Amino acid sequence: FPEMMSNPKLLLVQGTLNVVMKQNVTLSCLSEPGSPPVRYTLFKHNQQVSALNRSDLSPALFTLTISSASDVGEYKCKAEYNNSSGGKYSNSLNFTLIEPISKPVLSSPTSEAKKGQNVTLSCFSENGSLPIRYLFFKGTQTISPQMTMQKREAAVIFLFINSLSDFGTYKCKASNSFPNNTKYSNAFNFTLAEERSHSQPLIISLGLILLLLIIGFALAIPFFVIPLYKASE
């Protein structure tokens, strides 16, 4: 009589659960104790993927190629004796597809600033698997700790413009779990805003008053100056 079959164990023997497109992974399914022959069937979301018969106590090995987003998700295997009903199911393994990030965009609500002003910089990569890690630079020096965003949102830092040296070139970089995938943003520069003198509004006001007086005098000539001139003749 065959031994009582236990629930098989599904193990990942090649590859990772975080997969990239075109990656190969190998799964091992084995029920022990158990008496051969045993039929092992691999399922993805309850859909049969492959089946193998084992006449010894070696595990069934299933090699998969991740060729599309439909190939990721939950996998299980089933072990059963031939010509028998029922069977036992394994634990599940869940594959997640990771995608490369797109080039991040570095931006600010204002491009002009003056000394003593607070400004913000935001870095955002529109595409790529979460979480995404961001780091800000001024020149080649980092100016922020690494920020890990679990949601599809921008990383934001606050800066205080204290001197002319703060008007340098800023950049940020983004990375995620996709191998060898780090992208740098566009360069961003703040320009020095022109500081207007406090006397400028007064000068403009006096100029307007003088202009109005000249226009008023010109309009008054036909009514007052010319008649007085004729009367004196």
For the stretch 88-135, pLDDT in tens is 999 999 999 999 999 999 999 998 888 889 999 999 999 999 999 999
Q: Is the peptide bond before 145 cis (omega within 30 degrees of 0)?
A: no
Q: Which helix (H) or strand (E) element contains residue 38? A: strand 38-44
For the stretch 27-77, pLDDT in tens is 999 998 767 789 999 999 989 999 999 988 899 999 999 998 899 999 999
pTM summary value: 0.63
**CATH class assigned to 9-97:** mainly beta
The residues of the chain that CATH labels 2.60.40.10 are 9-97, 105-192
- The C-alpha angle 203, 209, 210, rounded to 5 degrees, equals 90
105-192 has which CATH code? 2.60.40.10
